[in-house]
Amino acid sequence: MSENNEFDVADLRREYVRGGLRRSDLTDDPLEMFERWLKQACEARLADPTAMCVATVDKNGQPYQRIVLLKHFDQQGMVFYTNLGSRKAQQLEENPHISLHFPWHMLDRQVSVLGMVEKLSTLEVMKYFHSRPKDSQIAAWVSHQSSRISTRGILEGKFLELKQKFLQGEIPLPSFWGGYRVKINSMEFWQGRENRLHDRFIYQRQGDAWEIDRLAP
């Protein structure tokens, strides 16, 4: 903040006028609703519509957040991949509770997910790993995610070394690379409205069914 207070973040505001969300707009299943909104986000050409903020908590109760790409979803849950030695993976090993958040600002929409993770099978991980671009496969071998490094040159040098090594043939799946499926317990859909009277609906799992409630903004 400048000394003469020329820039005050409290003054940054706008109205949300892109429409509303009524109960009649909702599907019975939250994943069907999510699929509808995700398609609309893609059609609107939003940058990285599958980008989600993934929140985990360490053993001391300290929360951490980072952006990860959603790679698959179905009735079993939502899937993402990561280095199993990463900070997020270590925290999920100790505490499998997780929160996901999709910030679709250009549509004045948000989707928030709460759930528990389970590790994907080696077959599922291998199938996805070999579908990635070859450079991305090599990058998985290069980075010991969340570990400290002295310079970027170490990464770049290792990448070139492995690129030469794997010039021919299939790149093997690293033993330290895997994925998670988020088993969904609740999913909230948020639509911005004028005068901050936003529309919010939350789906909560009740056995094999979903209970839907409107929340105050």
Alpha-carbon gap, residue 211 to 37, rounded angstroms: 19
Which of 22, 23, 196, 214 is labelled catalytic? 196
| Short-list 96, 131, 101, CA closest to 115 | 96
Residue ranges for the known binding site are: 13-16, 66-71, 81-82, 87-88, 110, 128, 132, 136, 145-146, 190, 196-198, 200
Residue ranges for the known binding site for FMN are: 66-71, 81-82, 87-88, 110, 145-146, 190, 200
Residue range 18-130+179-214 forms a domain whose CATH class is mainly beta
Contact 182, 113 (CB under 8 A): yes
Contact 169, 132 (CB under 8 A): no
Structure tokens at 144: 């010991």
Chain segment 93-108, per-residue pLDDT in tens: 999 999 999 999 999 9
Contact 86, 145 (CB under 8 A): yes
Is 175 in a helix, a strand, or coil?
Answer: coil
> What are the residues whose beta carbons fall under 8 Å from the beta carbon of 91, sequence distance 6 or more?
56, 57, 58, 59, 64
Chain segment 160-211, per-residue pLDDT in tens: 888 888 888 899 999 999 999 999 999 999 999 999 999 999 999 999 899 9
